[in-house]
Structure 1
């Protein structure tokens, strides 16, 4: 038994409620994001003491690896909220070379003591009680205007708390070996215990069904969320074991992939595969929990090979080549299904094969562009009759399809369409699907959704501000969910002539607004335009080059997205990509946000760039599933096709003579191509580093038109001279994660968005 105190701290006009995660100023709520609250609480709890940076970061982020700039950002924003100025610190004082100290007088009270029997830190949500009242603990921030009408996650919202600390890597080599043996023994014990646990769970389910049949009222279950701290890296994929006691996750340490086995109860992990020559795909447990399946690729074998490996590590058995994405298993575990694509025929297929040896392949169904299957995974239903899969529709939307295993017939699951579908999984009872999805393809925010089956309205779970990675979702046999949560803490900087030593920060972002991540542009008079979220909508904002006079320029309906903007040289218009009319189109507006005009139609139009004279817009248009470059007048009208092979992400040269763009490459990654402004065959073609110009790309011509600068997906910038064979890294930016970039019209100022990514494994129970 342990006691959990509801501590309340009072300082100045502020009241900090630790249990309710609420900060009040003169009885009015103060908007705080979760990590900001954790930072403030840690300082207040140690009021009068110096808290060094390392200890403070451990208190706030646990074992998650983040940059120190995240802490600096939290402190800076807290000081603003507390009313401090640059020269007057009444609450938080910086102790040079050490850390921070909370210096204000603090009074402490205790509201209520709750006694709970708990063996680990959890996140508890009180479900609806007998009187219909809902008592919940807010997870993210206090927003009085929104909280009144907020949709609870099937009965409540959630509060995040730190996970237990991990064993560090700072032990001696023999110690690590003993630790590994002990952990493997413990994990093996858990796997054996799963058999007995399965019998108990089966009996428990039977009793529950009998109670329901007898009309007895069952006690409400509490929804819980908890973090699982990874061991020394950033997680990019996770799978939970069928018994819900273990995790296998892939993570990146120093840009190298590795696979780890984690014990959920103790929050300990051991590496089970760390071949530095391999790139690992999304892992999946076999139904018996004894082995894991995943894809591997390397420089000599770019096509992904499906392999099987014992869950405790060991030899990889190669099974099936050319597998795209994770696999799903039939209920008896004897077969598996996966996706396979063919770039030459522009089609992909659902393939079924034996799970033991990968043999007896047969194609269940094939679809061609533009109506191909999503590449983020399949889900085999618990009754074995159906495979659920995301599929692309004409016009850019996605839908969920149910494909019959018996006769390949297809039906739609749910009435609505989606912007983009990610990983999905069936609930153990077959009563619906849980998945990651975006409501708009161009949006950055993706959330967890529950889709009832065979009918019912989809619901977002939870209705929070957190963002979940599209490609990672896994469900245990008892319905415990493992997902990845991620955030970008962005900030906007200006560097004269791209000299990082002279760079100054003009806007410190606040998660999850993603300032400048999806668009940056200069106006001729030296103002900056940038993108930022307002609720669930992504809008264009403006500010002075010193970060003052912030103003929202565009606004749309719910889930509207305005991104990738450019400004004409006369300062009259801003051109941007938007979904405000339904599909993705190119729009024009006055630089003050007025005078909206849609330039393109029919959907699938994106990524505009302007000619130097401001008369033409070059953009990417996806037609029949293939992206190509087109050109249209700034006033609209008939568009002209410029390329006929797959091409996207165009930028017009400063002299207006050429267009740079990206095109598929035979090697991994893309190529950088140059064509005349009037279109035609490429006049230049350059190889691009494999990790550059992937995902959400950003590139610009240098002001003199002699080179092109573009960002790497991992970190840094590259510069490709037109007279050079290979690109060169831009000095000073090698270790910086750049999100977006733009040159001023006079070529003297370089603006860029940067910021670290934080990704964490989240475990969710009782969400239905």
Structure 2
């Protein structure tokens, strides 16, 4: 199927735009996390057929080891968004110990960019009308008439060329006069539009996903804070984590998970945007941390009290799973810490 055709899929009250990666229910957007949408798309593309769990996990998390519970969680969230029931499924049927099957009828809708000829070539053999047109004999045109048409065409082309040249000179003269009138002044810049995303005044930590589709922020009282994620396209807010103390927020480069520091003593965690149980990565970070662009390394500071009662701060780097700690820099200083931690490209380390 050509790229411009068949990217609109419909089943019951739902419509999917595979190009825009949007799910609509009777024209209203349905909020889905990226991996949940990809799960739905994988099932619909194979509707009526069993999609094995291994096949789904390989598509959703290529070259990455994840537990099967992540796939189960995706299916639960998808059923919740579709209003489906695992015991009496309308859309997603569980095939025990094997996988899942999309059982609802799926219809492919033609987009406005699809031509009738393209759809005919993709959906089946040519119609009788197409075969009739293609088999119609050609009409022979007399030679004298052909010469007359050729001469007429040359005259039309010449007139069009003269008109085009005149038009370009006129536009050039008009542009020069406008440049003189402005006297070197540039057009005023448009004013920036500021839009408030939260209104509680309790958001001390905020992060924006790399693709600009999500905003994570903290909200709550001093005794209990929550990490909320807002999907900007649908303006929906979901709380994914609650804790008594939160020290920072950073999106993973993939935009599918969130890093944060919480607790006393503190620890660095990673949690999926779908929610679930956070995974502990690093113990006792001082609070400031940064994730490398490829997500493979985490830089952070750690504070200890030495035998002399002085505070020692260390700048460390670890792998994404918290292992292979590497000491980069140490500082013995009273009641201060590193202001910022960053992970630059290899070979370009900078302490700030």
Common fold by TM > 0.5: no
Q: TM-score range by the shorter chain?
A: 0.3 to 0.5
Higher helix share: 2
* Length-normalised TM-score, structure 1: 0.20
Larger Rg belongs to: 2
Higher strand share: 1
* Length-normalised TM-score, structure 2: 0.40
